[in-house]
Amino acid sequence: MKQKSYPLRPTGGEIRDLAQPGYYSGFSTLAQKKKWDETTRQVVTERVEKVPPLRFFSSGEAELLTAIVSRVIPQDDRAADRMIPVHPAIDERLFKNELNGFRYEDMPPDREAYRLGLKAIDEMAQKRFHEPFVSLTVHRQELILKSLHDGKPDPAHRIWQRMPVHRFWTLLAEDCVTAYYSHPWAWDEIGFGGPAYPRGYMRLENGLPEPWEVDEQRYDWNAPVDSLSELDEQGAPPEQVLPQAHGSSS
């Protein structure tokens, strides 16, 4: 059976407001749901139809977490009604006090770790740029978060003396990636056919596609113009892009 093929997207520049980002235009994992057993079908479809309410974080914490998550795993290319609900999934895990299966002995419980981490990030933004994290430009938000990723908080904060910054970053990144790639819309983005049970996969050799898969159609794209990755690609170090990074936010 020939794979489905769809028109190529325009290439280059920023990509915004797509109902389905990725290289598999027109592919829908949920189109396969009739092939799943009832329990699997219910679990997967609820990830789209039932976004969990925010019950753990305060409204201010939720707003801050949303801004952070938007930079850890950006969805700038997605239309507003096709955003994958990452921060509600994190909120739900913490509300239910569910663990990821382990906790490092030098880390506080996940609930406490998140509250401490959010507090540190916002106070770092206030100290460095004299504004809350949610009010910063994309570039400045990424400067703060990259310093955590690199294990060198800039500016330093007392909370990272109580809680290892690299452990917190790993916790945050793991939760973001888990929430994102457990969602059917992310499966559409990467061309993943969803649960294999009970149908299974037929073509297990030589990299052959399954009949329900579609052709990969790559296109060029650029990150948002003020993102740290895009500015680095242009060869402009952060201190040249923002010469007053440690001073006024004007």
pLDDT digits (tens, 9 = 90+) for 90-120: 999 999 999 888 889 999 999 999 999 999 9
pLDDT of residue 210: 84
pLDDT of residue 1: 40
pLDDT of residue 242: 43
Name residues of the chain where pLDDT drops below 70: 1-13, 230-250
CA distances from 54 to 25, 65, 91, 99, 194 (A): 32, 12, 6, 18, 27
Say how far apart CA 201 and CA 244 lie, in whole Å: 56
Tokens of 158: 């007392």
pLDDT of residue 55: 97
Where are the domains positioned within the chain?
29-241
Query: Structure pTM?
Result: 0.84
Q: Please work out, in degrees rounded to the nearest 5, the angle formed at the alpha carbon of residue 95 by the alpha carbons of 93 and 98.
A: 45
Nearest-10 crossing angle of helices 138-149, 165-181: 120
